[in-house]
């Protein structure tokens, strides 16, 4: 053990005893930005809902101050009028299982939807989804873009949407690019904003906000970027000059104490993409990759800004809940890894913000670890509707009272039998083959020191392991798309 590892472990152990109770019934929360600390009661009624998903959006936003080069003024504008959750986690670090879980309220181990090659619909069709729930309760349901997986890929099933804006996908051309495989590529696009399907989707949604609605509405808008490929107009790259780009902090031996399955996921993405980080670093393109992600995130932010401005100029400004979420996080070199497809902090931590009309305790960042399974029950409670069948917990108490206790961990799943628990200051990872990781974010925010084998943390590990599911559905073996029943 080198001196750095020894000192970090000694410090972590010295303070672990002081907060072990945080893994029993409540978490310790620190409000980083708060406008008022009093309790606020939310009026529960049929608010309109603007439901925005931004694909592959991690936490690199301006208001969270998680990356010095982040330029997201419109998401930050929402943060000033709402609550942003610093430690919000996806139920799965992959688009398809994450969205299947979020949109139905049922976790991967309940549906059998664990990865991207499965037909998600065959695993969730027996459950009432968020749009179906609100349609049954009298809402007019409109949607466009990637909300369920593959957004425009036919998800106009009767009962899901009353109106759906289908704009397909467009493979853009780049002025110049760095390419490392079929999908991991970046560079300025030939096309301008208006030519992107995402722009057209937002325009379609803006038209709906300009219309008169006699019923409360649910308007879902799925923005595909910053999903790969990172090709957007030059002006978004110009927001992030390459000479100013800061790459994530890493250490050379980061994977030395990681179990075999974690090492495999760091270097091998579903037996398709191999050693992304090694190739990018060897080519001297790490800064360019980070720039590409930041530029594409700024593009997505600009689209959201158009949507937010349209709402503010509409009759619905003061009676609409705004909820914005990413479906999971994204690695850009942390743990020697790129993309998602892992159970560490960067692949699971995502942006999550909500604005509720009349809520006093807004313009704040809440530090409570939660997962996005909170979305479905929270929206139901805020709109005064009966509690749906779901596996999450409403976060209304956290919205109404910044100091409310929260005894529910954030749980993440990737492939059958592999789970992570984020509770209090800890992240615990359990792999199907028995491998384990344990990190204390107070002393180790980058998850460099795996404490799982340290016997002094046995009680902490046992408490976190007790949150894991005892029953897990078999993985769905149906791999075709046929959600229209043909």
Active site residues: 95, 149
Residue 415 falls in which region: left (phi positive, over 0), alpha (psi -120 to 50) or beta: left
Question: Rounded to whole angstroms, how far apart are CA atoms 483 and 155?
Answer: 7
* Angle value at C-alpha 34, between 29 and 39, nearest 5 degrees: 75
Question: Rounded to whole angstroms, how far apart are CA atoms 196 and 190?
Answer: 11
Q: Are 383 and 415 in contact (CB under 8 A)?
A: no
53 cis-preceded (ω within 30 degrees of 0): no
Strand locations in 55-196, DSSP E? Answer: 83-85, 88-89, 140-145, 163-165, 178-179, 185-186
Residues 194-203, buried b or exposed e (16+ Cβ, 10 A)?
A: eebbbbbbbb
Residue holding tokens 């995130």? 297
Q: What are phi and psi of 344, to 5 degrees?
A: -85, 175
Closest CA to 373 of 10, 61, 52, 104: 104
Question: Rounded to whole angstroms, how far apart are CA atoms 336 and 215?
Answer: 50
Closest CA to 186 of 198, 196, 197, 172: 172
Calculate the CA dihedral of residues 337, 302, 201, 103 and round it to 10 degrees. Answer: 50
Closest CA to 432 of 168, 109, 78, 151: 109
Question: Rounded to whole angstroms, how far apart are CA atoms 223 and 263?
Answer: 31
The CA distances from residue 107 to 54, 91, 281, 419, 468, in Å, are 20, 7, 36, 12, 12
Closest CA to 295 of 399, 380, 177: 177
Closest CA to 66 of 449, 446, 448: 446
Q: Which long-range contacts (CB under 8 A, 24 or more apart) does 1-8 make?
A: 5/449, 8/443, 8/444, 8/448, 8/449
Q: Are 149 and 450 in contact (CB under 8 A)?
A: no
Q: Are 354 and 383 in contact (CB under 8 A)?
A: no
């Amino acid at each position: 053990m080198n001196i750095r590892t020894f000192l970090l472990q000694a410090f972590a152990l010295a303070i672990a005893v002081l907060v072990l109770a945080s893994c029993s019934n409540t978490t310790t929360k620190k409000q980083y930005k708060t406008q008022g600390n009093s309790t606020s009661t939310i009026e529960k009624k049929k608010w309109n809902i603007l439901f925005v998903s931004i694909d592959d959006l991690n936490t690199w936003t301006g208001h969270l101050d998680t990356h010095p080069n982040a330029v997201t003024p419109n998401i930050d504008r929402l943060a000033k009028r709402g609550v942003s959750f610093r430690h919000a986690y996806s139920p799965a670090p992959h688009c398809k299982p994450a969205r299947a879980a979020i949109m139905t309220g049922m976790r991967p181990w309940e549906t059998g939807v664990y990865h991207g090659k499965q037909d998600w619909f065959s695993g969730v069709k027996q459950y009432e989804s968020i749009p179906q729930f609100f349609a049954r309760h009298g809402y007019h349901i409109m949607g466009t873009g990637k909300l369920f997986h593959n957004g425009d890929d036919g998800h106009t099933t009767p009962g899901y949407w009353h109106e759906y804006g289908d704009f397909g996908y467009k493979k853009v051309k780049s002025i110049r690019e760095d390419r490392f495989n079929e999908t991991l590529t970046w560079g300025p696009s030939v096309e301008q904003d208006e030519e992107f399907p995402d722009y057209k989707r937002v325009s379609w949604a803006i038209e709906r906000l300009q219309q008169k609605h006699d019923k409360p509405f649910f308007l879902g808008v799925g923005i595909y970027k910053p999903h790969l490929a990172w090709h957007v107009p030059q002006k978004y790259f110009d927001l992030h000059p390459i000479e100013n780009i800061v790459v994530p902090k890493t250490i050379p031996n980061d994977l030395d104490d990681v179990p075999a399955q974690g090492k495999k996921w760091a270097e091998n993405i579903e037996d398709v993409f191999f050693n992304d980080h090694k190739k990018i670093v060897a080519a001297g393109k790490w800064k360019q990759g980070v720039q590409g992600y930041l530029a594409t995130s700024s593009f997505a932010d600009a689209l959201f800004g158009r949507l937010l401005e349209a709402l503010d100029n509409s009759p619905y400004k003061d009676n609409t809940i705004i909820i914005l979420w990413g479906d999971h996080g994204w690695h850009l070199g942390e743990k020697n890894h790129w993309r998602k497809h892992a159970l560490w902090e960067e692949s699971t931590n995502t942006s999550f913000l909500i604005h509720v009309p009349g809520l006093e305790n807004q313009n704040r960042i809440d530090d409570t670890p939660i997962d996005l399974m909170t979305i479905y029950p929270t929206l139901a409670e805020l709109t005064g509707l009966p509690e749906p069948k779901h596996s999450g917990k409403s976060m209304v108490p956290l919205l109404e009272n910044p100091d409310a206790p929260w005894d529910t961990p954030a749980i993440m799943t990737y492939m059958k039998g592999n789970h992570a628990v984020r509770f209090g200051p800890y992240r615990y990872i359990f792999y199907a083959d028995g491998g384990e990781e344990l990190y204390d974010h107070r002393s180790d925010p980058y998850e460099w020191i795996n404490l799982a084998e340290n016997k002094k943390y046995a009680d902490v590990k046992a408490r976190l392991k007790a949150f894991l599911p005892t029953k897990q559905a078999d993985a769905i073996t149906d791999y075709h798309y046929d959600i229209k029943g043909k």
